[in-house]
Amino acid sequence: MTGSAVRQRPLLPAAVVAALVAAWWIAVEATGTFLPTPWEALKGVGELAANGTLAKHVSASLMRVAIGYGLAALIGIPTGILMGWFPPLFQALNPVIQALRSISPIAWIPLAIVWFGVGNTSPMFLIFLSSVFPMVVGAASGVHAVEKQFLRAARNFGLSGHRLLRQVVLPAALPQIITGMRISLGIAWLVVVAAEMVAIESGLGYLIIDSRNAGNRYDLVVASMMIIGVIGFLLDLGMRRLDRLEEVRWRYVR
């Protein structure tokens, strides 16, 4: 990649963001809508940061995502690997998993409130449900997609059983496992905001509802939405960096 191409990479998304901000500002000024301008929304972010509200709600949302997503990874990834490695287990579990993952996590909100009440457990349960199935599917697909020549070569060197799984299958399946984790993290961040709007009184989802109810502070509503978008982008950026690890890219090295 040439030096000019490297320099242009951050300029392209910055230009798109600038165009969207300009269109937003022009639309608000031209229509006289109640929505805030970009400057008013940025001032709202500053207000939330200055009075400590931002840190409080961001940390609450991230804590719930970390726990629910972490539990999903601990259960979903090993389950998917075992399903990919043992065909009878895949045949037994796959229909149930496909049926359950077709149910929107939002549909579970009433049951979550009944089971766990209004508190941290309900949104963490919803995050777990929304995250675990993409991880299971990604891990199982990754194991199924391991090239047969890798397995034959490993067996020729005397690898079998758990050694074959650990030293060949898992490294080869890592790209798809990470893809499932990345998809799950995006869904988890969406679900925590929705759950906080109805099932709890803290977090960024609750902040949106509370800002609307506090005298229709739509500058704070849009500010909260901007914060959600930025954090979601940063979370995805962190997951994308896992793709650059040598342990993940070894099978694609030319």
Residue 142 lies in a domain: yes
Structural domain count, the chain: 1
pLDDT value at residue 157: 67
Residue 22 lies in a domain: no
pLDDT value at residue 234: 92
Residue 4 lies in a domain: no
Residue 123 lies in a domain: yes
What is the per-residue pLDDT across 59-91, written as a single tens digit (0 to 9) for each?
999 999 999 999 999 999 999 999 988 889 999
pLDDT tens, residue order, the chain (254 aa): 555 555 556 788 788 888 888 888 888 888 777 778 888 888 988 988 998 888 999 999 999 999 999 999 999 999 999 998 888 999 999 999 999 989 888 889 889 888 888 888 889 999 999 999 999 999 999 888 877 776 677 676 666 667 777 777 788 888 889 889 999 999 999 998 888 887 778 888 888 888 888 767 888 888 889 999 999 999 988 888 877 766 666 555 44
Residue ranges making up the domain that contains 242: 39-252
The pTM score is 0.84
pLDDT value at residue 7: 56
Pull the structure tokens for residue 87: 């065909």
CATH number of the domain within which 107 lies: 1.10.3720.10
Residue 27 lies in a domain: no
Residue 19 lies in a domain: no
pLDDT value at residue 252: 52
Residue 23 lies in a domain: no
pLDDT value at residue 254: 43
Closest CA to 199 of 191, 219, 217: 191
Residue 8 lies in a domain: no
